[in-house]
Amino acid sequence: MVKKILILCTGNSCRSQMAEGYMRHFAGDKAQVFSAGIETHGVNPKAVEVMKEDGIDISGHTSNHIDEYRNIDFDFVITVCDNAKENCPYFPSRARQFHYNFPDPAKAKGTDEDVIGSFRKVRDEIKTYCEQFVKDNIA
């Protein structure tokens, strides 16, 4: 049976977008993956850039609000930042909830190289998390 996964973050612009890309990559046709935010900030171009470096194209993703998915019965809801976990609305479903607080690369300061370095670091952490999540819960 195909699993339904929702990945939640504050603005659905960086972390949840990268996680959606990797979950789709690792789960293949075993899961339907969605991402959303408790707000919508648009997909961050630097997130698109660093994912492309790793061969994952998220340029077609959209920034979605959690309310758009109220009627889907998810198997898993993964929050990828503390703010989303604390403010996540209650979903009346049987979804198993997971949480991992990834740093927000959009808040990185410094030179352009410092900032893109932060995006790459968070991307790599998310990749590792998603690959392990699929092995443990989907495969």
pLDDT of residue 94: 82
- In this structure, the chain runs to a length of 139
Considering its fold, how many domains does the chain have in total? Answer: 1
**Residue in 6, 8, 9, 126 annotated catalytic:** 9
Tokens 């030179």: give the residue: 111
CA-wise closest residue to 12 among 53, 47, 40, 45: 40
pLDDT of residue 82: 83
**Residue in 40, 54, 69, 88 annotated catalytic:** 88
Catalytic, 81? Answer yes
Per DSSP, which regions of 2-45 are E strands?
A: 3-9, 31-37
Residue 89, domain CATH: 3.40.50.2300
| Average pLDDT per block of 10 residues along the chain, 139 residues long | 93 95 98 94 96 98 92 92 74 82 95 97 98 95
pTM reported for the whole predicted model: 0.94
**Residue in 81, 106, 122, 126 annotated catalytic:** 81
| Structural domain harbouring 11 | 3-137
- Strand partners for 36: 8
